[in-house]
Amino acid sequence: MSFLTATDPTSGAVVRRVPAATPEQITATIDRAQDAFESWRTTSFEERADVLRAVAAYMHENVDKLGMVMTEEMGKPMSESRGEVNKAAWAAEYYAEHAEAHLAPEVLESDATSSYVQYLPLGPILGVLPWNAPFWLAFRFCAPALMAGNTCVMKHDPHVPGCAEAIAGVFDAVGAPPGIFQAVLAETPDVEQAIRDPRIQAVSFTGSERGGSVVASIAASEIKPTVLELGGSDPCIVLADADLVQAADVIALSRIINAGQSCIAAKRIIVERPVHDELVELLAARLGALVVGDPRDDATQVGPIARSDLRDNLHRQVTESVAAGAKCVLGGELPDGDGWFYPVTLLTGVAPDMPACREETFGPVAVVMAADDAESALALANDTPYGLAASVWTSAERGEAMARHIFAGQVTVNGIVKSDPRLPSGGIKRSGYGRELGPHGIREFVNAQQVWVGPKTG
């Protein structure tokens, strides 16, 4: 028998060890999802909304209990864990309120008496999810899928089995119809069985580009649609006319949320040369004042890296970049002691060919690059195989004009890049394809069925 093991990243101690699902158990889970779909697809939007609202209410009421599972399995500070649970509940509430309008039939004129498109559920949908935002990413996947009338099978990251069980437990606790949402605690290689099962109609994957490539190729071989949200090396452009104090406040926060382990964090800070030194000084002051420590302590602002191998890779990116000529203004040294903590780090003089720029940095490492002017800043921003999100600090009018020339699925002007249930998010290039959230996200896993009634008379 194989097991999924969760390790507390503050100490390295094992906090949970659960048996991995067998092939027979994976099949049985999908059996239940298919059985549940036959009745769930015929429910009204209001009936589905009642379930999602009950789920959201339960999460709000049990935010500390649910949040602590995240904190102990992947090191998210409790203040952020509570926020994530509440944000996941918000996604459920949003789709409970707006799904019917987002999926309203669309009348299209033709030679028929009546012609329109209606949006119908597909069946069981598989979500393959990562460890870094266990609750939010689960509900970003399941809330729109469930409200569209699909059922959901969630294969979470093997390092957060307690989170997977807790999320599924929320549906059980509120008496949701059995089988509409299930967690399958499977090892990563066994996800192929689920993808190839003929009852699974589509796959939503969030994770690395390597993992996304594998999932997409398996799904494509079975002629099944996928949505991929993969890595990012998000540029943050700061021009000379920006409000530097506000920019520094927001960029520092963006870089250290979840200890920097976020796909949409500001990873390459590209600063117009006349204000480069001033912004570096402002960033150094803010980053240097952050409290790194036990994520269970409400005073902690930056927790540990989730795993030792992830910390090792992050440190490699920093040390290789410094060896290539980058300047380490802050941090950059592995600390002594238990756990997989990494200091908040600030690198300047980073060039496009250095690992800290060329690769995705998944940790509290701020990378600053200088640009001669707005045009060269834009060229640096687009010099990446990724295209997830970006931000620009300048006048609103100028920022909106620049957004049209940035190759990314999401651009924020004078603010923090974030995901919001009301707005679609997703990437281009090696950051993936498809959209989640908003009206676009709920239409990813539906049958846009054309109906023609005729012939037109008269």
Q: Catalytic site residue 163? A: no
Q: Catalytic site residue 328? A: no
Tokens of 183: 């967690």
Selected catalytic residue, list 229, 272, 360, 436: 229
Exposure letters 18-57 (e unless 16+ CB within 10 A, then b): eebbeeeebeebbebbbebbeebbeeebeebbebbbbbbe
* Helix, strand or coil, per DSSP, at residue 298: coil
Q: For residues 154 and 78, what is the distance between their CA atoms, to the nearest angstrom?
A: 24
Q: Residue 224 phi/psi, 5° resolution?
A: -120, 135
The residues, any chain, with a CB within 8 Å of residue 257's CB and separated by 6 or more, are: 80, 265
Selected catalytic residue, list 263, 272, 357, 444: 263
Tokens of 38: 């036959």
Length of the chain as a residue count: 458
Q: Residue 448 phi/psi, 5° resolution?
A: -80, 85
The residues, any chain, with a CB within 8 Å of residue 236's CB and separated by 6 or more, are: 251, 254, 266, 267, 268, 269, 270, 390, 391, 392, 393
* Helix, strand or coil, per DSSP, at residue 215: helix
Q: How many C-alpha atoms does 404 have within 13 Å on its Cβ side? A: 4
Q: Hey, which residues are catalytic here?
A: 229, 263
